[in-house]
């Protein structure tokens, strides 16, 4: 029996790559940004910080903040017709 290859970041070399201008320390303003319930956000992964990252398939999707859980936010995203709830760190969110 052969084990399945790949993990959380499987086939994401280009998707989770930073441009030369973005490389370096992470932005503290993005790390500590405060969002309110009902805010529209875009899921954009920060590859240098893995905690609180959503599954890379949802990179670039739009969602709505439904609440807060610890340091992270609950984001509701539609996957075709289904609503999905992600718990995402604010460094991986862009406010629209």
Q: Contact, 72 vs 49, CB < 8 A?
A: no
What is the structure's pLDDT at 4?
Answer: 84
What is the structure's pLDDT at 31?
Answer: 95
What is the structure's pLDDT at 71?
Answer: 95
Read off the pLDDT of residues 14-56 as tens digits, 9 standing for 90 and up. Answer: 999 999 998 999 999 999 999 999 999 999 999 999 999 999 9
Please report, for residues 36, 39, 56, 83, 95, the alpha-carbon distance to residue 11 in angstroms, rounded to integers and kept in the order given: 33, 31, 9, 25, 27
* Domains of the chain: residue spans and CATH: 28-95 (2.30.30.70)
What is the structure's pLDDT at 32?
Answer: 96
What is the pairing mode between strands 40-43 and 72-79?
unpaired
């Amino acid at each position: 029996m052969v084990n399945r290859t790949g993990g959380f970041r499987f086939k994401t070399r280009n998707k989770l790559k930073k441009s030369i201008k973005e490389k370096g320390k992470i932005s503290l303003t993005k790390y500590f940004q405060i969002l309110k319930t009902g805010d529209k956000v875009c899921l954009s992964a920060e590859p240098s910080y893995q905690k609180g990252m959503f599954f890379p398939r949802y990179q670039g999707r739009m969602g709505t903040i439904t609440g807060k859980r610890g340091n992270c936010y609950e984001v509701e995203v539609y996957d075709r017709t289904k609503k999905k709830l992600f718990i995402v760190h604010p460094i991986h969110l862009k406010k629209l």
